[in-house]
Structure 1
């Protein structure tokens, strides 16, 4: 198959911002490779990025505008949106409407949405799902540095002598960047890595020291570090005197809360020797990077935690220099781009502030508007509370799924059910959010849209279209601009392309800047369309002084405050807002898993990405599992004051006793009761508005099902009201994991109704043991298999899935369907370990034992596992330790 064309673009997943080469083949399929010229990834891709070509199909796509359940023309849809918004605004004022955006949007989409809402509707009620992941880091940077500025580059992570990874499982959440770090440590073994995380994650395999802190206690640890640095004379007094305010108050707060190593160890529930070792390493290592993410940010005191980290860097002058600095890593591909254009409700475009009169004047004059909002809008959690109370009447949701992702998700669902107007721009016809929409607008997907994104190191990259727009799908910026025109603002929204929007965005960043604001990309404001098309990755600032970009900031130690000094913040540590008690004795931690992304609307399309972890899991320490009588592999029900969830129990010594971990990804399209955000209280950080997604008190019990089962079927099924079900896309089939609370009256009848009675059947029933197995054929082609039992100990699914790729089955293979064991010669890979190359656990075990493999490199040479993104390497290492 010859290649039709190859396009340089960027990955739509995490904040690493990897470059991608997308090649469209003559048959319409897409081949994906990492871009070796992109400075973020240098050719590497993770398992999700490698599978992007499998996600571009049109099944389930929203392809036409829909109003009140009826397909309509774009003109009718846009007229409806503008008329209904204007009616609500006229009756209730501009603050009665809101926009809720996403880090999945391109910068141009973000810019036009913010311009319309803040500049012309005149309300600050526009926020983003990035509020859920990095707003505490934003607030802390602004307090300390005077601006929302990540000062570091990825290169700094590689040249640091000490890397402190706090609240980040980078091995799974930012795997390509983690592999860059791993390679750097391999080349420089003296480089030290400290991981601060309640869980022992895959990231900890790289660590010289792992600190499993008590959930929420991070500020005690970093306050203790600041106090230790003072006690051991490791401060940079000259830097403090010349470039820092607030040192005395910050130090006093540190002394009060974290006076000694024993006090810190007690507050964080850590061994004193480990605390002392961390403090010693930081004190003695000048080239130190603090690399932090959601485990720090997603807290009711997240901003203070971030500032406690920043304090340690400011007190030692470790900022603005190679291999040093506080580095917040973003979770989404364009969370940084959203920050640039004012995606948060308390910000204006180009890193300006709503509550700053001079900034409001500047933006008003640039946009030529007298309608600019003068007050910040509602942050995400409060926005949906106001929607529920009726204070906000209408919301336009773009490229996100708040019914799954926002805390107290059932309350969010109820708010959307009763709101006067819900507009949703999306690529999917069916999500937990689109099902409640009055107006659905078909958006372009990755591969179809064109514009820019900014990664975690401030690097702007082009996302380029390589597929035609399907159906009537349109760019988000276009639909917003068309609504703005219909609302009477045509002159201000006369954009003909993404390049037009980007040029205006760049021009605003330099407008009357005079080096007052570090976000400045004015050197890009005069690009032609062809120059925009050819734009190479570049780090801002990009201006007259730095036309080729800027690797790191604050090299001159001038900060974006009134007096040019950074500010240390007095941090009074606070533990989580909600505390465990007898009724809810465990702490719920939430987060991402290796091969899925957000609410699975894209990754669910790639079968190999479901193979590693096909069901929502409840990871729990074996001691806690014994206490609550939870068997490994059985089902458990989690309950909080706000909701409930059912997931598959996974015993893990990596889990901290007293805590459980549940992934964030599953939703009502793919599971019965697995939206973890239903459990989480909507308590937020008072400064950043970021919700406390990682420290919810919960109770747990065994989910005592009367029967368990699974079905593999070539056709999707309607499962009715089955108590537990999970839907997984496989190669040429759908997989369903099932359990019921009431006994099946007759398993064979139930299965035949579920799968349809037509076709040729093989089945086996052992009523005494409570087992039923069946296979349905159409001619020689296997159409479905069903396995039902009283307990959860069922045959492995991997070898069964292999049978769906065969045109015919021999007699032994047919009989294996009833015996529940693979026929001789039938490959059984076991649990998937390497999603990039489809290498299973049993294949790797066999390779280790038969070929006497003793290292990850040898496994890679023999089986390819671990040679692409590297995110399976920790599991390969565990297998080597277990089998040697």
Structure 2
């Protein structure tokens, strides 16, 4: 009988509930959990495709040392001995852990306990440093604790929702869909989007403020000065519950409106309209994400936002408050257990002797870290200069995701001892490991995660462990035992770890700390197995409830009061004559981080199948770049090659490039190679949204597109980008040196047997060459070569991998690169859920479907996860505008 298991999505910080169904034959399907309060049954395109990412291709299944398979005892003994030797010779600060928001809370807890409590160093940091540490720092400065005041419900109760530095439609799609639904039910709700780009989130915006990069401090500092002159101030709240208001207002008022206009790039009319809207609207939620956090002034941005909410008392109330949207599924869980180098477990402070003593007594450890450890950027610089002798990386890919990624990779190459625990053995980071440890993946591991609204949910394993893969918590516990700390790491299951984590949260707390889940300190296996999603805090003896913080004016500074933080305007431009453009990096709709999982799904790869750079049309014209050209983007640190996407959604003078592509999927597209290791002074978070670059057209001698039934070899050419496709793979290429023989080259790259002769032609006038290899009626590979970017119906060509080609005419149609009569080309994919292309959507529009709902009824696009609805509306508007001209 089919089995259903309730679990949690492993992607973004929304924390959607998922129901996995396992059929009698072992097949898996997923759907949204209608009872989970984060999503109520909705899933985005990535969540809907989870079952397509569960194959074992390239999975790391066994421990390896020096590239050779070994048993677990041999691998773990080596890890423990190397770390112990480094500590004995060079001290505890000579070793480090670099972990991940992909870990479960139980994994995170043991990593933190081992490093800070037993090794005695705080050199444990996480890739969450790259996405939300400025929020942490801002919260701690303002509130005295890393507390998110509100819950998701507030977004849907608010009369004004401000989305700053957040492309909600693509990065938190389920929250976006819930917000869009709330706005449709209550049209008087206003949405303001603050972003240099006109992203798909602007589809529901009443106002889009195309702010300059890093103009947020100026915008919200100006807002505070504006509020101080009006009647909206909550003077009772300010006087009773805060410090620093007069100083913050004085600093804000010293900055004139003309300066704010210059720093933000907004007109006086836009500023006035926004300030007046904020002032007169009582229920305001300000959501902020990576566009705020990933900045050298990210902490000041967070505090500038919080200042405005404190000044008006709009915090902790239904429909009102500042709201940090975390990037990863368990970034919040990592914060709860002290996963950052400058924090202790249970939201305690490493700089506090009282907190250190408390944690040390609870853990019964002979030592405790006495000072903050190295934050991510500093940590890898310490690896590079030799201070770190042994490094353990778990569930993340810093050779792609860290700033100055080339230097990070070089540091890994020269580090004396690198351990990598991961589900994949082929990442850019794993190739530099001395020891590879196979971890459990989603669907296999068991534990908890915490989403952006402080809601703890279970991830449940429902698949057997492949090969010899083990849970991450188990790996830490076993190494802890081998390092001499056996009594402290005798865990039999994650239930015991969660119970200890809950006990520590309540230990000597009595309401003095925000994080308290003491209600679960005695949890046993059956209750843990059945644990329903809950919002913390949940203190011992209390009935389950949802909490908002700070409406009562009780904060976590020693005096119980919040702090206004004075901010000054930063330098917002890093450009120069040599590097005149500003690079902004970020996510796209259907991919996740470095594509370790999502790259396995043909459906998710169909929307945007290769690395690209967005240009404003004027910037493209000045660089002599047209859409589909290849472009070299260069910073002082290096150069990448990307496909040009020319769009007026991009701001003049700015470029946008996704951060996902790596050396497994493209020749030269690791965009973080270009990002300098500039960080926020307070949080240590890298500035990934404001990078000075230049761009120029890449002059190739030939371009090519290919489809192939089997994974190709990595080609030796200037540019290539590989994507999974239905029935095989698709490959984009460009050459600065031409092969001597295209047929021989094709046989080598695509693995074509010498006995199979190609069907094809060459046009000496245009330089076009077409080759197709068939094994009886099955297409093995097809290669389309041209002197310019190849004009081929790509989705149609990909579909031919699953077709039978008995008819010779169909084979010639394939070589021509265009479908024959009666075989329409769907065009570039817009809706990943139903594989609906742009040509199908425009055809529906021509037939009279002039709303998103009508298009959905006709071709199904936009009727599942809804992530593509904004794009469909843009296509409709474009078609109707063209028809009217």
User: Does 133-142 or 3-12 show the bigger shift?
Assistant: 3-12
**1:126-174, Cα deviation, whole Å (9 max, x unpaired):** 0000000000000000000010000111000000000010000000000
Match of 2:45 in 1: 47
> Match for residue 870 of structure 2?
874
Aligned to 1:8: 6
Supply the distance in 2 between the matched residues of 1:660 and 1:29 (Cα, whole angstroms): 42
- Which residues of 2 match residues 97-116 of structure 1 at below 5 A? 97-116=95-114
Residues 1:565 and 2:532 are matched in the alignment: no
1:714 correspondence with 2:709:
yes
* 1:602 maps to 2:600: no
Q: Is the 8 A contact 2:313 2:551 kept in 1?
A: no
Alpha-carbon contact 1:164-1:194 (below 8 Å) kept: yes
SS at match of 1:60: coil
Residue 499 of structure 1 is matched in structure 2 by: 495
Q: CA deviation at 1:758?
A: 3.1
2:776 is matched with: 779
Post-superposition Cα deviations, 1:826-869, rounded to whole Å, max 9, x if no partner, equal 2311000000111111111111212x112111112222211122
- Answer yes or no: is the 8 Å Cα contact 1:304–1:573 preserved in 2: no
Query: Does the 8 A contact of 2:66 with 2:435 survive in 1?
Result: yes
Partners of 2:712 and 2:759 in 1: CA distance: 20
- Find out whether 1:628 has 2:623 as its counterpart: yes
- Displacement after TM superposition at 1:748 (Å): 3.6
Alignment of 1:23-102 (within 5 A): 23-102=21-100
Residue aligning to 1:549: 545
Whole-Å separation in 1 of the counterparts to 2:265 and 2:337? 41
> TM-score, normalized by length of structure 1?
0.98
| Matching residue of 2:134 | 136
- Taking the aligned partners of 1:743 and 1:722, their CA distance within structure 2 comes to 9
Aligned residues: 878
State how far apart, in whole Å, the 1-side matches of 2:402 and 2:215 are.
24
Report the 3-state secondary structure (helix = DSSP H, G, I; strand = E; otherwise coil) of the residue aligned with 1:353.
coil
Query: 2:634 corresponds to which residue?
Result: 639
1:793 is displaced (CA, Å) by 3.4
**Corresponding residue of 1:838:** 835
Query: Which runs of no fewer than 5 residues in structure 1 stay unpaired?
Result: none
Say which SS state the counterpart of residue 141 (structure 1) adopts.
Answer: helix
Q: Which moved more, 1:150-159 or 1:872-881?
A: 872-881
Distance 1:669 1:760 in 2: 29
The superposition leaves residues 644-672 of structure 1 with CA deviations (integer Å, 9 ceiling, x where unpaired) of: 11100000101000000000000011101
Residue 481 in 1 paired to residue 477 in 2? yes
Pick from 684, 688, 691: which aligns with 1:693?
688
Once residues 453 and 752 of structure 1 are traced to their aligned partners in structure 2, the CA distance between those partners, rounded to angstroms, is 47
Inter-partner Cα distance in structure 2 for 1:758 and 1:87: 57
Q: Closer, same or farther in 2 for the Cα pair 1:809/1:50, shift >3 Å?
A: farther
Paired with 1:187 and 1:720, the residues of 2 have a C-alpha distance of 53
Contact 2:520 2:540 in 1 (8 A): no
**Offset, 1:809:** 4.0
For the 8 Å contact 1:707–1:740, the answer to whether it is kept is yes
The residue that corresponds to 1:469 in the other structure is 465
Q: CA deviation at 1:716?
A: 1.7
Shift in alpha-carbon separation, 1:719–1:101, aligned structure 2, 3 A: closer
Deviates more, 1:119-128 or 1:544-553: 544-553
Alpha-carbon distance between aligned partners in 2 of 1:752 and 1:76, rounded to the nearest angstrom: 41
Check the 8 A contact 2:782/2:815 in 1, yes or no: no
**Deviation digits for residues 418-459 of structure 1 (CA, Å, limit 9, x no counterpart):** 001000000001000000000000000000000000000000
Q: Secondary structure at 2:396's aligned position in 1?
A: coil
1:682 paired to 2:680? no
What residue in structure 1 maps to residue 883 of structure 2?
A: none
Q: 8 Å contact 1:243–1:565 — kept in the other structure?
A: yes
Give the Cα separation in 2 of the matches to 1:549 and 1:380. Answer: 36
How does 1:430-829 map onto structure 2 within 5 Å? 430-544=426-540, 546-576=542-572, 579-755=574-750, 756=752, 757-829=754-826
What SS does structure 1 have at the residue aligned with 2:676? coil
Q: 1:290 aligns with which of 266, 286, 290?
A: 286
Q: Distance in 2 between matches of 1:679 and 1:758?
A: 45
Distance in 2, Cα, partners of 1:763 & 1:342: 61
Contact 2:12 2:327 in 1 (8 A): yes
Native 8 Å contact 1:408 1:643 kept in 2: no
Q: Deviations over 1:714-738 (max 9, x none)?
A: 1222234211011111111111110
Query: How does the TM-score come out when normalised to structure 2?
Result: 0.98
1:272 Cα offset (Å) = 1.2
Q: Deviations over 1:577-599 (max 9, x none)?
A: x7111100000000000000000
CA–CA separation in structure 2 for the residues paired with 1:438 and 1:419? 10
SS across alignment from 1:131: helix
Distance 1:63 1:453 in 2: 24
Distance 2:471 2:744 in 1: 49
Deviation at 1:743, TM superposition (A): 3.2
Which digits, 9 at most, give the CA deviation of each residue in 1:364-412, with x for residues without a partner?
A: 0000012111011000000000000001111100000000000000000
Distance in 2 (CA, whole Å) between partners of 1:588 and 1:728 is 24
Question: Is 2:677–2:687's contact at 8 Å kept on the other side of the alignment?
Answer: yes
Residue aligning to 2:394: 398
Q: Secondary structure at the match of 1:485?
A: helix
Q: Secondary structure at the match of 1:350?
A: helix
Deviates most, 838-847 or 102-111: 838-847
SS where residue 875 of structure 1 aligns?
Answer: helix
More deviation, 3-12/46-55: 3-12
**SS of 2:300 mapped into structure 1:** helix
Deviation string 1:4-24 (CA, Å, 9 cap, x unpaired) is 211000000000000000011
Whole-angstrom CA distance in 1 between matches of 2:744 and 2:389: 49
The structure 1 residue matched to 2:170, chosen from 149, 164, 172, is: 172
Among residues 340, 343, 348, which one is paired with 2:344 in the alignment? 348
Please state how far the C-alpha of 1:883 moved relative to its aligned partner: 2.1
**Which deviations, in whole Å up to 9, do the C-alpha atoms of 1:303-352 show, x marking residues without a partner?**
00100000000000011111000000000000000000000000000000
Which residue does the alignment assign to 2:150? Answer: 152
Q: CA offset at residue 745 of structure 1?
A: 3.3
Matched residues in 2 for 1:26 and 1:733: separation?
27
CA distance in 1, matches of 2:762, 2:714: 21
Distance 1:689 1:819 in 2: 54
Deviates more, 1:122-131 or 1:854-863: 854-863
Q: Tell me whether 1:121 sits opposite 2:116 in the alignment.
A: no
Separation in structure 1 between the aligned mates of residue 748 and residue 235 of structure 2, nearest angstrom = 77
Specify the SS of the correspondent of 1:688: coil
Match of 2:407 among 404, 411, 429: 411
Residue 704 of structure 1: CA displacement?
0.3
1:191 Cα deviation from its structure 2 partner: 0.4
Q: Secondary structure at the match of 1:347?
A: coil
Q: Which moved more, 1:858-867 or 1:85-94?
A: 858-867
Q: Does the 8 A contact of 2:704 with 2:790 survive in 1? A: no
Query: Residue 187 of structure 1 corresponds to which residue in structure 2?
Result: 185
Distance 1:872 1:720, change over 3 A: closer
Give the C-alpha shift of residue 59 in structure 1: 1.1
Give the SS at the match of 2:796: helix
Q: Distance in 1 between matches of 2:24 and 2:55?
A: 15
The alpha carbon displacement at 1:573 in A equals 1.9
CA distance in 2, matches of 1:471, 1:31: 22
> Residue 549 of structure 1: CA displacement?
3.4
